[in-house]
Structure 1
Amino acid sequence: MAPWVLSNSNVSLEGTETIVKSPFPFFIACYVEGRPKPKIMWLKDGENIDEIFENNGEVSLSDENQTLDFKYATKKYEGKYECNVENRVGHIQPFTNVIIEDETLAPSDTNLVITIVSFTIIFIIVFSFVIILVIRIKKNKIIRNDMLQLELFFLREGNVGKLNKECTIEEQAELLPYDNSFEIERENITLGKQLGSGAFGRVLLAQVKGLNGKESPTRVALKM
């Protein structure tokens, strides 16, 4: 039985037009039957596609050579594609003319693309600014923490080596090491009436337990 073309093909003996949009994928189908089973060979503009598209990863055959698949629609794939079908009973050569059209965006699509791109750029700028700001805040926090630790170190250890013999101790108190034996627990202090106030703060009358090793409360003036 001579080969014939099935209706679900997009080629025919009279020829067809296959119009595709760039750069989308497309295929050309040449579904045929015959007894014995026919062999299929594809031609583009009269040349064997095996020679034209050799080592071309964008074009491939499937379905026992009945389908010619293209990954991308580009102008170089325009032309007349013939499906050479043959068995010992007969021969047919249906074909199609492939036309590649450039994909153009409608005005509404163009506006949408511009809007998306604009928002993307704004988002990237804002996100970058936030990242830089967070990095700076963390860096400043680390610097402040390091400075605080340094100040606490000098407060505890002092800097006796810088004491000037020509100055009094009172004038260089900040260079002396900190003595925590003078610290008093908050619960050992009982606040009393206010004695005075001003730009320096407030001065209160207070009772302090354990001052100078004494068990009995000691009356003091406490500045707040």
Structure 2
Amino acid sequence: VVLEDIVAPVLHGQTTGSSRVNEGLYFIFFCNITGYPHPEITWFKDEQPVIVNKTSHYIISSYPLYRLTIGNVSATDEGIYQCMGSNYGGKVWSLNMTLHVGDYSIEAEVGFSAEYIGIIVGIVLIIIIAFVIVIIKMKQSHSGFHKELEQYLIQPHGDYNPDLPIDEQTGCLPYDAKWEFPKDRLRLGVILGQGAFGRVMKAEAIGIVDNEDVTVVAVKMVKDCTDKDQMMALLSELKILIHVGQHLNILNLLGAVTKNIRFGELCVIVEYCHFGNMRNFLIKNKAFFQDTMTNNDKHVPEVR
């Protein structure tokens, strides 16, 4: 004979919170109680024991599934239910389990009144409308300055003064449409470099140079086409390159994409330097420079 210690009842789980069911349906409460010997379960409704007989519509299930099934629910079944498990070691009570009987509604289920729901919906609508207005205003603002850029591009104002710095007179410089290049003939590639406001990309341009089907080029563009300062700076650079013209010893302009500048599209196409820029070249080859003397005693650096 093996004797086992008495274990007081312990509640491990139960039907929680409030529940709602329509009349004529059924509902099941459960309590998961363990102990040794197996606890005896008693169900209570409104602090009174639930009575099961031939005329009642309650069904009680014993170990291992302690359940109270209410068949053909009626309004009289609404109330607060509990289960209590007991054995020689003691007893344990479940938390209150509330049953509501009636048609399901949001107000009945979550306790929100129609007025409260209306207030919430109204606040959400106001937030959505405000957000849409802000987006529209931002688009109008961007559209406005993009149109300003278009006017700045095609309609120079004032007379150019050769005695003043050119970067202070870019508004006076015209844009020659002969530099316009179709975007669909430009295939962008990898990024060659970038700074705080712009980037330079390697690209292939179809038919941009005479006697060449495809030419490798460098394309300058802004990082943020909605930033007026970035767009104006690149547009000014384009006008300066056009004004300076082409020369063997400078990085020459090959074309530009400005047709849709009112939508924030601006690209400046220049020659691609296969050997990089002068700064990097000097840094890379500084060990090969050698000072020499000329007849007039001037130091002239040479590269071996």
- TM-score, normalised to structure 2, is 0.29
Which one has the largest radius of gyration?
1
RCO comparison, higher one (Cα < 8 Å, 6+): 1
